[in-house]
Amino acid sequence: MSVWGARLVPVLHQAWRRSLQVRVVTITLLASSLLVGGFAYLIADKITNILLENAEADVQDRLNSGAAYAAKQLGFYHKPEEAQFQETVDGTVNYLAGGDPQQATGVVVALIADNADGVVQPRTAPAVDDFGSLISPELRATVAGGEVASQISTGRLGETDTKYLAYGSPVPTQFGQVELYYLVSLTRQDATAADARATVVGTGIALVVLLGLLAALVTRLVVTPVRVAARTAQRLSAGLLDQRMAVNGEDDLALLAEAFNQMATNLQRQILRLEEMSRLQRRFTSDVSHELRTPLTTVRMAADLIFAERDGFDPAVARSAELLQTELDRFEELLTDLLEVSRFDAGFAALDAEPTDLVPVVHRVVGRLACLAERVGVTVELDLPSGPVIAEVDPRRVERVLRNLVGNAVEHGEGRPVRITVGVDETAVAVTVRDHGLGLKPGEEKLIFNRFWRADPSRARQTGGTGLGLSISLEDARLHRGWLEAWGAPGQGAQFRLTLPARAGDRLTSSPLRLVPADARLPCGGPREGGLLAIGQGSAGVLAVGPAPDGRAEARP
């Protein structure tokens, strides 16, 4: 295949896949070409057969009358050696050929006497050299046997090779039998058939082209509004909510345009209403959070005084002071989380990235949660690289994400060890937090990052969480252009993976650590270890995650 052909094939394939008009016109041209070509072949063949049949009928009539005339002229002779017999043969042939032996009529007449060979000279009019080569031995033998026969052959009747029709008939005489042959040129019939074929082919090509143009015009009338609707829908999806289609006429396409415009209007109205409600909700959350700060500060001061003097109270009042202090801590944490959520919703969250070693960050998180882990009987295990793990991240936000992940793992670990693993490669760093608690039911890994969602609302909450921790952690990961994903199975615990680019702003393509734990038990009939696909929420929404050939987890949006 040439270079141009190699370049043209992908272009044609792309046009075929993307253009409905190209497909319709191409199919119309192919179908019409086959149909018109078939009809053209049948018509041309029919015309050729008619011309040949007419030529054969004409030659047969002339042969029958010529045979009768020759039999009458030669019937007076008892022997071919009689005087003037050859002159009679010559005169008969000339008469049957048209009277004038020099006049070209397109017909060659020959009279041969095989049983008197050497006595009667073969005679042709007009004269033809080597007449014997123009008649096949089979035709000559059939005519000599007393039957009328014919053949179509090509030979030199004049100065050029000519396609001709040869007919032979026996002529009975008193001394035996002679053979009369008519050779008729088919040049005129061939020319007529060629003209008919050219006319049919030209008409067919013109018809195919007209059908292609008609198909292109019809499909354009249909496809153009669809393309306009697609472009308008793309603009609507890009946020240009005032885009509408032009309505022309009252046909089905106009009805489609009106329905599309009505849908766009309703969508615009609903989106504006939802945006307004979302704006009011964000403003309400922000205002309430700020307004509650002042009374909370006053209540906090009074509660701190009461909590400091609780040893002098009776046991019931002392317990109430402790509960008040605990609930105020939870209330203050909730306000802090609501303020953070409002900043994310308003788009005011900013990333303060700097080169940071994640190993000390992990140690700080574990140290701050050591009391909680000791209280619930959970051991925290660390699997850290021997050297530093440097990445351009916001250390405050990364520490908050890890604190939420480790805190949840400790709380839901059911007294079993929690393992924290840190991995790094050339483009990314990752931290996994593995617990062996109740785990997640199928589908919950897509809901766990929703605000205020809990896998088990009836479970006793040791840490008094607000239900916003994982949601805020997900936003922190997205702010880094990273991933925060979850895996879990009933009875096998859960594992969360935080993957961040090593350089701020880079795009992630894989993670140094696998999402599915190596000790996970796969369901019967499922893929072998290392082949499970898990679903998790990441920076691009829902991600399908599975291990790469080198053992790393590979993410595919």
pLDDT, tens only, 28-76: 888 888 888 888 888 888 888 898 888 889 888 888 888 888 888 888 8
Delimit the domains of the chain by residue range. 8-238, 253-346, 354-556
pTM of the predicted model as reported, rounded to 2 decimal places: 0.47
Least confident interval from 183-187, 293-297, 360-364, 391-395? 293-297
> At 410, is the secondary structure helix, strand, or coil?
helix
**Local confidence band at 545 (pLDDT 50, 70, 90 cut-offs):** very low
What pLDDT is stored for residue 484 in this prediction?
Answer: 92
Region 187-202: mean pLDDT is 87
**Predicted local distance difference test score (pLDDT) of residue 351:** 81
Residue 200 to residue 342: CA distance in whole angstroms: 78
Q: What is the pLDDT of residue 433?
A: 95
Q: Point out the least confidently predicted range of 88-92, 405-409, 466-470.
A: 466-470
CATH fold for domain 253-346: Helix Hairpins (1.10.287)
CA distance 91 to 123: 10
Are the beta carbons of 96 and 70 closer than 8 angstroms? yes
User: What are the DSSP E strand ranges found in 384-460?
Assistant: 390-393, 418-424, 428-435
* pLDDT surpasses 70 at 529: no
Closest among 279, 555, 265 to 428, alpha carbons compared: 555
540 token code pair: 């691009």
Q: Structure tokens of 251? A: 């046909």
Burial of 421 per CB tally in 10 Å (0-12, 13-18, 19+): buried
Separation of alpha carbons 351 and 358, rounded Å: 17
In this predicted structure, what is the pLDDT of residue 304?
85
Phi, psi of 278 (to 5 degrees): -65, -40
pLDDT band at 542 (very low <50, low <70, confident <90, very high): very low
Q: What is the pLDDT of residue 104?
A: 44
Q: Which of 143-147, 489-493, 537-541 has the lowest mean pLDDT?
A: 537-541
- Top-confidence residue, 109 or 523: 109
Among 62-66, 291-295, 508-512, 519-523, the range scoring the smallest mean pLDDT is 519-523
- Structural class in CATH, domain 354-556: alpha beta
Is residue 153's pLDDT more than 70?
A: yes
Q: Distance between CA atoms of 100 and 102, rounded to whole angstroms?
A: 5
Strand partners, 87: none
Answer whether residue 518 shows pLDDT above 80.
yes
Angle, vertex CA 447, rays to CA 444 and CA 449, nearest 5? 125
Q: Is the pLDDT of residue 548 over 60?
A: no
